[in-house]
Amino acid sequence: MAITDTLYAPSRQAPLLLVRAQAQTIKAPVRHGSTGALQAPSAGTVTIERADGSELVSGAAVTVSSSIATYTLTPSASETLGAGWSAYWDLTMTDGHLIWQEEAYLCEYVPPCVISAHDLYGVVPELKHRIPEAQGPDGTDEGWQPQIDMAYYELIQALIDDARKPWLIRSVTAYRRWLLARAVQIAVDSIPATMGDHWSEASKKAHFAMVAARSEMRVQYSSDSPGVRRAGSPVIRLSPAGRPSW
């Protein structure tokens, strides 16, 4: 079995987060070409390994739905939460196979994506008439979906980077505002602007809205007392030895 030379691109931008004791469908979207169109596999399997190397799912056949390989599972309530899990996709594409291994976590809770393009239009109505041509006809709720997806993956990555055991998250307060502010910011910044014009000003407003949303987001962990909410914190990176400070 040869791995394809065609440059297919798995399009999930953050680790796979599984939820314990809940039925869920995991997906393996694959894109290719100048348009980034979804590429439907003709068949495939998925294997999910626990942190100790044992298999929760072993070579199970995927289902292809809307050009995306999917698999539905329910991790047992007795499974151990934590990092170190892995998912292995073996997808039969038009040109050979795509072998995709991704990092995974087993979590207590994963905040879902709770915004659509309709929410973006409520903040910046003009976005409805500036949808990039490749993203669909004007006025549809799918036009800004790539920017919404990017914002959601950034949220997931931010919760992981916070380094406080994301698998123990019980709730995330005000994350909808964070997600909406970031999606608006990405969408507005994708529109060409010149100093002082409408989109330049919209970009400034989106920046300050994001700063405010970031300051309000709070995370509650199952290891905390019920009334505790922790502010999200940036990752601390130390400079290499000998690097000058300013």
What pLDDT, on the 0 to 100 scale, is given for residue 235?
A: 43
Among the three residues 76, 107, 138, which one is the final residue of a domain in this structure?
Answer: 107
- Taking only the tens place, the pLDDT of each residue in 19-52 is 999 999 999 999 887 777 889 999 999 999 999 9
Same domain, 124 and 224: yes
Look at residue 96 and tell me whether its pLDDT is greater than 90: no
Q: Is residue 146 part of a domain?
A: yes
Question: Is residue 236 assigned to a domain?
Answer: no
In terms of phi and psi (left: phi > 0; alpha: psi -120 to 50; beta: otherwise), the region of 183 is: alpha
| Domain identity same for 98 and 152 | no
The answer to whether residues 126 and 224 belong to one domain is yes
Domain-embedded: residue 242 = no
Instruction: Sort strands 230-231 and 218-221 into parallel, antiparallel or unpaired.
Output: antiparallel
The pLDDT tens digits for 128-179 are 988 876 666 555 556 898 899 999 999 999 999 887 899 999 999 999 999 9
Q: State the pTM of this model.
A: 0.83
In a domain, 246, yes or no: no
Whether 239 shows a pLDDT value over 70: the answer reads no
Give residue-wise pLDDT tens across range 182-236: 999 999 999 988 888 999 999 999 999 999 999 999 999 998 777 777 776 544 3
Domain boundary among 46, 78, 107: 107
Which residue range is the domain that position 166 belongs to? 117-231
